[in-house]
Amino acid sequence: MTHDHPDTAARPVSRPFGRVLTAMVSPFTSDGTLDLDGAARLASHLVDEQGNDALVVNGTTGESPTTTDAEKERLIRAVVEAVGDRARVVAGVGTNDTRHTIELAAAAEKAGAHGLLVVTPYYNKPPQSGLLRHFTAVADASGLPVMLYDIPHRSGVPIDTETLVRLADHGRIVAVKDAKGDLTATSWVTSRTGLAFYSGEDALTLPALAVGCVGVVGTSTHFTGALTAEMIEAYDAGDMPAALALHRRLLPLFTGIFRTQGTILVKAGLASLGLPAGPVRPPLVDATDDEIAQLRADFAAAGLELPE
């Protein structure tokens, strides 16, 4: 099938992981140890108070580059135990080594995860044929549904439209976290496949819905989850003025959370709210007083309060 003749037949909207997912931070104690009790409490807050349908653990926001494989497995178990009866838990297992990714996928499945997030292999820049083989091998090796993570500004390589269309043929590859920032490319894939696209950029969630996305895997949704769900529900109901009003209201936090690396400001915000977070691990650095003051201003601009 060529780009000139997309399959434009209406497809039922599939939301295999719900509407709103948060890429959850991994709480640490003051000495940098993984805080499993804190992770359970934070997960419960995100599901019960912030309206998340699912949580992604061990993603980049969860500091996956600096947590061990054993810590990743313990974290999945803790979060599944805390919220697995009322939300889906998606485990980040992507690395730039196919064998290691398959090992992490097996461990995540054993630990009770409901799905896998598999990022494009980063730094080694495989060709599209390598991406096809990598993602297919991971999906073949696991019984869990897979969400691909397309984030070329971090990985160095986009998942091309034709590659995504071919991957959509795999029965367990069901979704994409789309952080490509290319709504034209997104439009082509959503018009030609049944893949459930989730915006991987908080501020692009509303426009992404217009080209076939079904939800968001967010970072600011640690704080905006319930209102983001409301925005998506308004869009689904055809109430564009309400959806646009919420998009504009939340824009200061959708973007402000990324004034520096997102994990840094999420942990600072959670700490201000008395929620489990703890420090970040090097090479990340904790937020400065000026960054926290700016975050407080961004909260206020979105009509939310971040206590002193």
Active site residues: 149, 177
Can you spell out the DSSP letters for 240-272? Answer: HHHHHHHHHHHHHHHHHTTSS-HHHHHHHHHHH
Do residues 262 and 247 touch, judged by C-beta distance below 8 A?
no
Beta-carbon contacts of 129 under 8 Å, excluding residues fewer than 6 positions away, are none
> What are phi and psi for residue 37, nearest 5 degrees?
-65, -40
Question: In angstroms, rounded to a whole number, what is the distance separating the alpha carbons of residues 213 and 19?
Answer: 10
Do residues 87 and 47 touch, judged by C-beta distance below 8 A?
yes
Question: In angstroms, rounded to a whole number, what is the distance separating the alpha carbons of residues 123 and 214?
Answer: 29
Beta-carbon contacts of 107 under 8 Å, excluding residues fewer than 6 positions away, are 69, 72, 73, 76
Do residues 11 and 194 touch, judged by C-beta distance below 8 A?
yes
Give the β-pairing of 20-23 and 115-119: unpaired
